[in-house]
Amino acid sequence: MAYSDKVMDHYENPRNVGALDKDSKNVGTGMVGAPACGDVMKLQIQVNDQGVIEDAKFKTYGCGSAIASSSLLTEWVKGKTLEEAQQIKNSQIAEELALPPVKVHCSVLAEDAIKAAISDYQGKQGK
């Protein structure tokens, strides 16, 4: 399967790989997907008092498109407010990476991951 240059770039040089302290009150963690389906994404965001995402890390088990989708997502959410990050749509990711139709589910997973991370953070804040 031929991948776009942008997918290859993110796949070969993934941005923001790693982990944040999942027990920290300022960190939200979203883990989506299932090993049986061939994709698991873990996205973590660190949010400051102003509600701005100041750091983001990911780890992904999955195909090149899944890795690229989550890598791109971490770049996009950094510096955004939670409200802004909540607005990110899978179609924007799919378009940016020129994902073929069979790989659109990777971008859906990325959107689910940021929503899950925000929800986890908000839960910790008691909101």
CB of 44 to other proteins, least distance (A): 10
Q: Is 63 among the catalytic positions? A: no
Nearest to 31 by CA among 7, 58, 55, 53: 58
- Among residues 62, 74, 88, 94, which is the contact residue for other proteins, using CB under 8 A? 62
- Among residues 60, 74, 90, 107, which is the contact residue for other proteins, using CB under 8 A? 60
Q: Is 102 in the site for other proteins (CB under 8 A)?
A: yes
- Amino acid in position 13: N
Q: Is 36 in the site for other proteins (CB under 8 A)?
A: yes
- Among residues 4, 6, 9, 11, which is the contact residue for other proteins, using CB under 8 A? 11
Nearest to 93 by CA among 68, 118, 119: 68
Question: What Rg, from alpha-carbon coordinates, does the chain have?
Answer: 14
Catalytic: which of 37, 48, 102, 123? 37
Contact 66, 93 (CB under 8 A): no
Q: What is the rounded CA–CA span in Å between residue 82 and residue 103? A: 26
Q: Is 66 in the site for other proteins (CB under 8 A)?
A: yes
Q: Is 28 in the site for other proteins (CB under 8 A)?
A: no
Beta bridge partners of 45: 28, 56
Residue 108 φ then ψ, to 5°: -65, -40
* Binding region for other proteins (CB under 8 A): 1, 3, 11, 14, 17, 19, 31-42, 59-64, 66-67, 102, 105, 108-109, 112
Which residues are known to be catalytic? 37, 106
